[in-house]
Structure 1
Amino acid sequence: MDTLSIISENIIDEVEKDSLDFLEINPVDVRWDLNDTINTTFSNNLDSLVYTWYAKNTLKTKKPHQAPIELSTETIPDSVYIQRLENIPSLIDLSYNKIVRNYIELYSQRRRSQVEMMLGLSEYYFPIFEEILDKEGLPQELKYLPIIESALNPTALSRAGASGLWQFMYGTGRMYKLDINTFIDERRDPVKASYAAVKYLKDMYKVYGNWHLVIAAYNCGPGNVNKAIRRSGGKRNYWDIYFHLPKETRGYVPAFIAALYTFNYHEAHQLFPQPSSLPVACDTLLINEQLHFDQVANVINISKEQLRELNPQYRADIIPASKDGYALKVPFQYSAKFIDNQDSIFAYKKEFYFSIKDKVVNPSDRYQKFAHVTPKDKAKVYYKVKSGDAIGLIASWFHVRTSDVRYWNNVRRNLIKVGQKLVIYVPKGKESYYSNFNTMGYSEKQATLGKTVASSSSTVSTTSSTSNSNAPFVYYTVKRGDNFWTIAKKFPGISNSDIMRINNIKDDGSLKVGQKIKIQPKS
């Protein structure tokens, strides 16, 4: 999970406990993205002119070049926050209390860099949300929901399986007509998922007629909101049912209000949008034939990474054939190139990317059959994952990129298992050399890179305790922000599961700052 996802998942944990006094809430209860030449030149200049117009008229002011900002330590009075919230045109009640204040301070003080990243991303995503909300007649303020749902990360995936900017669960996504199969997950499509989210919100408003309750229901489901209403004696005010809501939902409305405030008054807190890699303007093309991102990238010279970024709904870099067609979003300046070279794009190495000529890609077919074709001048070898292996280590031993290993093996979030067989493509003639890695120990594999493995870390105290392999244990003190993955990275050859097994710990939630855990370094 990337940084932005982590922001949205862990944001509730940073609320100060003393902000809960006004509701007498127990702190323990709150946790919670030449003619031809002339014509060509004219066409290119025209495209450039239009793109420049878009840039001038859509970009917000960026952070000025200046010395580092010295933040004022002066406390902002409640009256200022209250007045500012009252000045924001909103159909949704923007309540203010100590919980809301503390979330505002979280966004504006303690999470500044992440908020500036989201401000930059909002320049791309907010116009999409605003257009759909306007078309459906819903309050524009609802565009801030994806801030707390996914931190504007279209590939965000929660532990419960919710996916996309709006964090739809599989069942709810299918209920609202989102296509989810081997090749496509429309929960990650910014446009289609936004339409689905708006329909869901409209349905909830018909039920509750109160936006606070609608927002709460979006987070925990209408069933939990209904239970809270019953347990409160039929009250339908969010703050009246606060205690009866699930713990992870109690801070959801305050976080929404604080996000709305911060985005409206970011300059007052010296927060400025950080430029993102997303383009200012895009064009959408309707694709009916099967198409691989590599075909587009190689013919019109666009980055495949950018295609992935703009089209996160395609899981295998493949757009399946469809009578109705699927959308392909490209930066505005590339749309004319695509149209001019359309036949060449679809014909480019067609047999290479699709194993059977003119066969329609059926989403029910296996992913690997279409996605993994042996690269030119490469041979395929298999590597069996061992305890302590990580995607980055394996990639370094085989002299390939980590992203390639993930792509070849459909690995998400670097998650691999002991015993899993990974496909690796290596130079022809070197199959035997790389196959030997299956019989080497960790030290031997590291030695091929010129690296020597130390038996223990000089910065960590050792003890006389031993494991079955007779290697000494070392103790590591958990620091703020640590999890099993970050700790394992400090000890070569050690995996998350090694640490969890030795310490008899089942999940990251069991780690506490200051806790000492045992590590058994690999020899």
Structure 2
Amino acid sequence: MNRYLLLNIILFIFSVNTIAQVQDSIPVDLAELDTFAIDSVESDSISDEMLELDDAMNEIFSERMDSLFHSWEVQNRFDFDSSEVVFNSFPTNISDSVYMERLRDIEQVVDFSYNKVVKRYIQMYTEKKRDLVEVMLGLSAYYFPIFEETLDKYDMPLEIKYLAIIESALNPTARSRAGANGLWQFMYGTAKNMKLEITSFVDERRDPLKATDAAARYLNRLYDIYGNWHLAIAAYNCGPGNVNRAIRRSGGKTNYWEIYYRLPRETRGYVPAFIAAAYTFEYHKEHNLVQRYPDIPLSVDTVMISDYLHFNQVAAKLDIDKEELRALNPMYRRDVIPGKAKKPYPLVLPNSVILDFVDKDTTIFAFEREKYFPNNTLMDPTSTSYFTPADIKGKDKVVYTVKSGDNVGFISSWFHVRASDLRYWNNIHRDIIRIGQKLAVYVPEGQLAKYEKLNSMSFAEKQASIGKSVKPAAPKKVEPLDPNYVYHTVRRGDTIWDIAKQYAGISSDDIMKLNNLTNDRGLYVGQKLKIKRKG
């Protein structure tokens, strides 16, 4: 028999086998996502009573959301007035029956199961991470219409849109420790196999339209394999190979909750977190969660660019800031659109400037063209005026000492350099810097004295240098301690829920009543909280 005919027959048989017979011989493009070691367990199935709540799972998603909250984009594009203490009450201790009824009332195709793990994630979203959920609610006004249109195109359940909450917290430039990138967290290999373009200038993993289309196609392939959305969603996270092994090791069971402990650790929390995200977005009003909208236009349009174009050229001729262009066009890695007549690229602009762009396009493309594109060619990104590696000549080096309250975004803004350059020059990983750390910053030649002054300026003065004002923090009233009570000193990152866990027999409600609090927003580092009466 012709070996190619034989191969086709084998592939056909593979495609119609039941899920319990799926083997590891999966197309390479379905096996490129993050994979983790499988944890062995004695039981093959799981019940609500058997579910063990793993705090580490919460930490994984909590860290992912915190990375968005502390990013430059969120801190600079959302209104967070640190001097303002807002006391918004919200319901706690909601009964399981209410959660279950609400989940049943959501119109969905994906099964929204409910158990203790799902409840834990709902509480994380609605009680512990309220600020960030309000940010994501605001961002969803921009991204969800894109997701829904694409999901509808492929006749997929629209609730799949909530998967991006788990993947990236709706941060289009999110990057995982393993290298997954964008709203849908594609690894490099998977992205290439899904026909996403990744070059020195363009990364379509960060293009909301292209990445969403690829994610929908990829999830459809996974659903074709498993015929079950829970398993397809799990495979999106850890790869089909890990899901197949979990199915085999459980004796061919295909219920997500029956193979729960056979899955990698992060994936166990993936489906519950997805269900909890759907619940939170559907019922955010019931939890007194209010959308916070970003300081970028939500009404936008797209023009196709058929020639090389730099963001500086657009910003110089239109009433638009370069940072706004970056926020609306996160797929361009060097502020350059490498458009060609045979291969145009999209430029997303606010509706308010679209007509101006059309009217001035010739002037925009001609502005300082030789500077950005000498001889009408793309310059090497490692030797242009807009990207400067640490060892290039023609730049002055400033050594900046990190102060309390600094972060990578602030420092790059003060020195007018890209955050990616600052990370590259100083080998910064995941934006982690420490007080007292010495950072090398490369500034235009001849401007050394100007930028050295930043070392001796206050935070407010540095913000003022880029046109940002800092409102003085309201003085906090210090109440005398009552000697009849046990007190807890609030540390960075504390929540009322975390504090209550440290004291036997004490609930978060007890602490809030004793201290006249209604939520975590009234906490500050160093605060003394009453816990209980002594004796």
Partner residue of 1:467? none
Amino acid at match of 2:397: Y
- 1:333 Cα shift? 1.4
Cα displacement (A) at 1:414: 5.2
Give 2:339's aligned residue: 321
Paired residue secondary structure (1:368): coil
Report the equivalent of 1:341. 360
In 1, distance between residues paired with 2:192 and 2:402? 38
Distance 1:393 1:93 in 2: 41
Helix, strand or coil: the match of 2:417? helix
Aligned length, in residue pairs: 385
Farther off after superposition, 85-94 or 272-281: 272-281
Query: Contact 1:395 / 1:402 at 8 angstroms: preserved in 2?
Result: no
Amino acid corresponding to residue 334 of structure 1 in structure 2? V
Separation in structure 2 between the aligned mates of residue 332 and residue 169 of structure 1, nearest angstrom = 33
Instruction: Note the aligned Cα RMSD (angstroms).
Output: 3.7
Partner SS, residue 349 of structure 2 = strand
Match of 1:222 in 2: 240
8 Å Cα contact 1:318-1:371 kept in structure 2: no
Question: Would you say the 8 A contact 2:234–2:267 is kept in 1?
Answer: yes
Matched, 1:110 2:128: yes
Instruction: Provide the residue aligned with 1:23 in structure 2.
Output: 50
1:225-240 to 2 correspondence within 5 Å? 225-240=243-258
The question of 1:401 aligning with 2:401 is answered no
Pick from 167, 172, 175 the counterpart of residue 190 of structure 2. Answer: 172
- Separation in 2 of the partners of 1:222 and 1:129? 23
CA 1:29 to 1:405, structure 2 compared with 1: closer, same or farther past 3 Å? Answer: closer
Distance 2:400 2:316 in 1: 36
Paired residues for 1:187-336 under 5 Å: 187-322=205-340, 323-336=342-355
Instruction: Work out which of the residue numbers 387, 395, 410 in structure 2 matches 1:381.
Output: 395
TM-score, structure 2 as length reference: 0.64
AA matched with 2:88? I
Q: Which residue in 1 is equivalent to 2:177?
A: 159
Distance 2:410 2:251 in 1: 62
Residue 425 (structure 1) aligned to one of 406, 427, 444 = 444
Partner residue, 1:77 = 95
TM-score, normalised to structure 1, is: 0.66
CA contact (8 A) 1:288 1:321 kept: yes
Structure 2: tracts of 5 or more residues without a match: 1-45, 61-84, 460-488, 495-535
Contact (CA 8 Å) 1:124, 1:278: kept in 2 or not?
no
How do residues 87-102 of structure 1 correspond to structure 2 at under 5 angstroms? 87-102=105-120
Closer, same or farther: CA 419–384 of 1 in aligned 2, 3 Å: farther
Aligned 1:43-58 pairs, distance under 5 A: none
Counterpart among 162, 165, 171 of residue 147 in structure 1: 165
Q: Distance in 1 between matches of 2:208 and 2:408?
A: 34
Q: Is the 8 A contact 2:150 2:212 kept in 1?
A: yes
Three-state SS of the structure 2 residue aligned to 1:341 is helix
Question: Who is 2:148 aligned against?
Answer: 130
Distance 1:263 1:321, change over 3 A: same
Rounded Cα–Cα distance in structure 1 between residues aligned with 2:360 and 2:234: 48
Distance in 1 between the 2:127 and 2:417 partners? 38
Closer, same or farther in 2 for the Cα pair 1:28/1:302, shift >3 Å? closer
Deviation at 1:281? 1.3
> Equivalents in 2 of 1:271, 1:349: separation in Å?
47
Q: Residues 251 and 25 of structure 1: is their aligned pair in 2 closer, same or farther, counting only changes over 3 Å?
A: same
The correspondence for 2:381, drawn from 354, 362, 366, is 366
Offset at 1:390? 11
Distance apart, 1:98 and its partner CA = 1.2
Aligned counterparts of 1:199 and 1:346: Cα–Cα separation in 2:
36
Q: Aligned residues: percent identity?
A: 47
What is the CA–CA distance in structure 2 between the aligned matches of 1:480 and 1:199, rounded to whole Å? 42
